[in-house]
Amino acid sequence: MSPAAPVPPWVTVIMVTYNGRDLIQRAVESLARQSEPGFRVLIIDNASTDGSAERLVLPDARFRLWRAPLNLGFAAANNRAALECRTPWIATLNPDACPDPDWLAALARAVQAYPETAMFGSLQRDGSDPPRLDGCGDVLSIYGIPWRGGTGQPLDSAPGVDGEVFAPCAAAALYRTDAFRAVGGFEPAFFCYLEDVDLGFRLRLAGHRCVQIHDARVTHLGSAVTGRHSDFTLFHSYRNRVWLVARCLPGPLLALGLPLHCAATLALLWRSRAPAAAWRGFYAGIRSLAWALAARPRIQAGRRVGVLALARTLNWRLSDLRRRPIDLRPL
């Protein structure tokens, strides 16, 4: 009997890794066990120094490794890989995220079920505490503060249906390739953190929506390499929040959202006695506000939705800044 013909790929999974230790190998092996065979994997190693790239074992010909000469950052490395994609869909998967065997199969069903949708999110379990959520879709507040919905809540608190969220978490997301390219992919200046919310915002401005798929599941450690509360993470998160608000909010919402963001951030920093890195990040964002504002004409020129329609996709509840709940809207 002749061997079965290869299945044409419909999706390219991009994995960006830096000093991934054993995490990247586990993620690769999880992908190799997918029940849906129609995929290719492009791994970008951002000049790791821990030997993880040399030790990495690729399971079969569907997997390819490209070693960058320097650390490009998560955003630019994904963009570099996306240039080589010849499939209609791009999936992003973090090296600290291990997908369930039917993750891609669930996303393939979603593509058929929601043909007008350009971005999809996955349900993320907490890798350090699997009975709890790492996130159920990204939420963006009018106060300019995003969060992964339901982080730390019991896993069974996630709604058992698909629904609309503001944006997908790029730890395990799916984007239509033509839409990803049309808005320019991730913003390289973000380097990492919030680049996925920024991309999701620009896709929303272009008229697209995001559907969170209940059956597409991964286990995610979250900042396993950089550290969830490290100076690196805090600096980039607080800086990039300022940029996100300044770049993406349409004019009427910017006049409200930017002052609200500054007030909310200062209050949170002061009340939480935040480390110096968080203060430095916020200050860096304010100092470079002119750069972020200069990007507005290009970004807003592509807007295809009204201000009120966009405002409805944001979270307006002040109390939610503390609770960080799931914000799943009916389809």
Read off the pLDDT of residues 9-64 as tens digits, 9 standing for 90 and up.
999 999 999 998 889 999 999 999 999 999 999 999 999 999 999 999 999 999 99
Please report which helix (H) or strand (E) contains residue 42, including its range.
Answer: strand 39-45
Q: What is the C-alpha to C-alpha distance for residues 27 and 32, in angstroms, rounded to an integer?
A: 9
* The pLDDT of residue 146 is above 50: yes
How many Å separate Cα 130 from the centre of its chain? 20
Question: Which tens digits make up the pLDDT trace of 196-255?
Answer: 999 999 999 999 999 999 999 999 997 545 556 789 999 999 999 999 999 999 999 999
Q: What is the C-alpha to C-alpha distance for residues 312 and 17, in angstroms, rounded to an integer?
A: 35
Q: What is the pLDDT of residue 4?
A: 46
CB 212, CB 120: distance < 8 Å: yes
Q: Which of helix, strand or coil describes residue 142?
A: coil
Burial class from Cβ neighbours inside 10 Å (0-12, 13-18, 19+) for residue 312 reads: exposed
Q: What is the pLDDT of residue 6?
A: 67
Mean pLDDT score, 148-161: 96
Residue carrying structure tokens 């709604």: 159
Q: What is the pLDDT of residue 228?
A: 63
* The pLDDT of residue 271 is above 90: no
Average pLDDT, the chain: 94
* The pLDDT of residue 269 is above 80: yes
Q: What is the C-alpha to C-alpha distance for residues 149 and 153, in angstroms, rounded to an integer?
A: 9
CB 251, CB 306: distance < 8 Å: no
Query: Residue 113: CB partners within 8 Å, gap ≥ 6?
Result: 162
DSSP category for residue 114: -
Q: Which of helix, strand or coil describes residue 200?
A: helix
Question: Which tens digits make up the pLDDT trace of 61-92?
Answer: 999 999 999 999 999 999 999 999 999 999 99
* 193-225: b (≥16 Cβ within 10 Å) or e: bbbbbbbbbbbbbbebbbbbbbbbbbbbbbbbb
Q: What is the pTM of this model?
A: 0.95
Question: Which tens digits make up the pLDDT trace of 99-113?
Answer: 999 999 999 999 999
